[in-house]
Amino acid sequence: MKVSLFATCLANALYPDIDMTMAKILTYLGLTVDVPEGQACCGQIAFNSGYFDDAREVARTTINAFEKSEVVVGPSGSCIAMIHHYYPFLFENDPVYLAKAKDLIHKSYEFTQFIVDVLQKPDLGTKYKAKATYHPSCHATRLLGIKDAPLTLIEHVHDLELIPLPESQLCCGFGGTFSVKMPKISEAMVAEKAEHVLESGADLLLGLDMGCLMNISGYLEKINKPIKTMHIIQLLGEGMK
């Protein structure tokens, strides 16, 4: 199987080690990995701000970049959810790109979803000693229906103790542009999330969307109670060393 990496803006710009580690893990599993150079943003920032025409233009770029890909895998439930749920809306009056969007939808996956549900390889022989808790991001959980896959991967990491996160279903308050437009509401939400993370007693916070983890870890640092934060891909990469 040949897998095309969907780098995503946040990982590519701020956390490139996540993309690099994802490529290494997929290669380790015997897959051929490429990174189509024409890819750009999924369009979510423009879409969430109501700029549908701009979002449509960016979405076309993404569709074109992966048109010849066999499978597309990304490190973000949020970006993959944008493709799956909102591309059909963006191209409802464009039959050519609607068909192309549906093709991309059928072959694109969030990383944990792909490893557990498609490859069925939950145990990568990883080992990492920590007391960890997991934050389920909204878009992955609510829009893609991803619930068990990330937990399955975490549970197969040897020496890792997984502690339940109180009120785990609550949003962290990031929401991309929401945190900029509604900063006070956003901060109140992340304050509540941070309180639950601290309440868990964990020394490691895990997640599958760096937007959420960046938001939560940033607030924990602000209140001088920092906790180590890792994307599940980073955890697996460390555990496989």
Q: From 170, 179, 186, 185, select the one nearest 138 (Cα to Cα).
A: 170
pLDDT value at 178 more than 90: no
Question: Rg of the chain's alpha carbons, rounded to an integer?
Answer: 18
Across the range 140-163, mean pLDDT stands at 96
Residue whose token pair is 């991967």: 153
pLDDT digits (tens, 9 = 90+) for 12-64: 999 999 999 999 999 999 999 999 999 999 999 999 999 999 999 999 999 99
Measured CA to CA, the distance from residue 88 to residue 95 in angstroms comes to 10
Estimate the crossing angle of helix 183-200 against helix 210-222, to 10 degrees.
80
> Domain spans of the chain?
2-117, 122-239
pLDDT at 179: 86
Q: How confident is the model at residue 90 (pLDDT cuts 50, 70, 90)?
A: very high
From first CA to last CA, the distance across the chain in angstroms is 24
pLDDT digits (tens, 9 = 90+) for 96-111: 999 999 999 999 999 9
Q: From 83, 85, 34, select the one nearest 62 (Cα to Cα).
A: 83
Q: Rounded to 5 degrees, what are φ and ψ at 34? A: -130, 165
Class for the domain spanning 122-239? alpha beta
Read off the pTM: 0.95
Measured CA to CA, the distance from residue 6 to residue 22 in angstroms comes to 10
Across the range 63-92, mean pLDDT stands at 97
